[in-house]
Structure 1
Amino acid sequence: MKDGGQGNKKPPSFNQRLRRLSDWQQLAFATALAQRSAINYQLFSESVAFEGGAELNKLLGLLWESLLVREARINWAVQQEKLPALQPDPAAFDFYGVYPALDAVMALELAVEQRQQPDPDTAVRASKLSRSTVRQFLEMQLPETLEEEQVAAWLNAQPLMQDENDFQDELLAQVSSQFQPHPELIRQIRELARNQGVSNLGISLEDEEA
């Protein structure tokens, strides 16, 4: 019997599901990934005495506030003007940590841009950025014996990459679980994003202080 083609219909891909998110869901997804990567920025700024950590956290707080309080009056054009000063110049630091720190600012910028001018590709770009941060970190640990065609499989099999994928799956599930940004849901997403103080690279401030 014919099933009208429905039986062969493929489920939407992860990125397709991201593109179907509403404006506030896109913002919540991007903000959560920016929150999770903020630890990388904090560690970098403390290691090299680079100012910006407090301002980055303040901007994250404003983004969460805008999701929690619809009538919150925030001048996002002014906030966006603060972003360039937060970006460290990789050429000025002989230290790998500058790259994840720069990615953290880029993640924050994506969320701020989404708040100002909604874009259906924001969540996809944020997702790819976070995965890229993890991938580049793992690439520094590639076994020398690996053949080029084995690299992708090795990267995907690493616990850190699997954790990134699992985190994004859970984040998408929570973000898409409701049609409206109820405060309880936003707080739940924010708590998930804080990830018990561990960044997408599996590091925390407590690890550095120990």
Structure 2
Amino acid sequence: MSADYSIDFPVTLHRTLDQLDPRPGLAFMAALCERLLPNHLLYVELTGDGDAKGLRAVMDLIWEALAVRDARIDFERQAEKLVACEPTAEDDSFGDRSALEVTLALSACLDLLRGNAVGAPVEVSRISIGGVERYIDMVEGAQWTDEDAREAALAAHPLMADERAFQQAVLDEVNAGALDRDRLKRLRQLGRNDGISNLGLSLAE
């Protein structure tokens, strides 16, 4: 994934994410993953490659782990199931890459739940930002004359502005109070984003 833009995009945000305790960090990650999910589901619908049902099940279990602290979930087994949900194509197309990145983001959540994910919230933040960056590159990159023009276009693009606002809104909700069921419900609803992904894509289209 190109990281040119995501390196200097949300410096303050990433510093804050690095300071989150594991549970608030996981809540932030889960909301971002929820918003990423349509990218994978749409790829499966269009190509038949991947496992939309399996991916949704893993996502649901991550929310369950947040809501029920003593939930008995075998996260090692869920990690194995997640690998089986990955697209099998190796053509590095935009759709394939975007679908794979959803599984990578969910994998980071499972790593955190297994206690071995230093910097996982920043990783998921970068995955989401990087996907937006690549999408804008793909759609509009041919018209840019140099790197300065590219960076200016990325910074001004509505999708990137929306990404900035979304991640900040999720972080604000995470930090607004105790992560009780009502707050987790609000975070999940925020992540669902009316079924529209970080790339502006929706299964309804």
Instruction: Give the alignment's TM-score, normalised by structure 2.
Output: 0.89
**Residues paired across the two proteins, number:** 194
Contact 2:23 2:66 in 1 (8 A): yes
CA distance in structure 2 between the partners assigned to 1:164 and 1:90 by the alignment? 28
Give the distance between the partners of 2:144 and 2:160, measured in 1 at CA.
20
Higher helix share: 2
**CA deviation vs aligned residue, 1:5-63 (integer Å, no higher than 9, x gap):** xxxxxxx8211111111110111111111111110000000101124100000000000
2:119 matches 1:116:
no
What residue is the counterpart of 1:3 in the other structure?
Answer: none
In 1: Cα distance, 2:145 partner to 2:197 partner: 27
Match of 1:35 in 2: 34
Q: Which residue of 2 aligns with 1:82?
A: 81
One-letter code aligned to 1:181: L
The 1:184–1:118 alpha-carbon spacing in structure 2 relative to 1, beyond 3 Å, is farther
Give the gaps of 5 or more residues in structure 2.
1-10
Question: Which residue of structure 1 lines up, in the alignment, with residue 7 of structure 2?
Answer: none
Contact 2:49 2:89 in 1 (8 A): no
1:151 and 2:150 matched: yes
Larger mean Cα displacement after TM superposition, 183-192 or 136-145: 136-145
- What are the ranges of 5 or more consecutive residues in structure 1 without an aligned counterpart? 1-11
Structure 1 stretch displaced more, 39-48 or 96-105: 96-105
Q: Deviations over 1:97-148 (max 9, x none)?
A: 1111011111111111111115341111111110001100100122424322
2:202 corresponds to: 204
Contact 2:50–2:88 under 8 Å retained in 1 = no
Over the residues paired in the alignment, what is the CA RMSD in angstroms? 1.6
- Calculate the TM-score normalised by the size of structure 1: 0.87
Partner of 1:166: 165
Q: Which AA in structure 1 matches 2:27?
A: A
Letter in 1 for 2:179: P
Which residue identity does 2:76 align to in structure 1?
A: A
Cα separation, 2, equivalents of 1:168 and 1:98: 24
Distance 1:176 1:48, change over 3 A: same
Once the 2 structures are TM-superposed, how far is the Cα of residue 170 of structure 1 from its aligned partner?
0.3
Q: CA deviation at 1:177?
A: 1.5
Match of 2:94 in 1: 96
Any conservation in 2 of the 1:21–1:176 contact (CA below 8 Å)?
no
- Residue from 136, 139, 148 that aligns with 1:138: 136
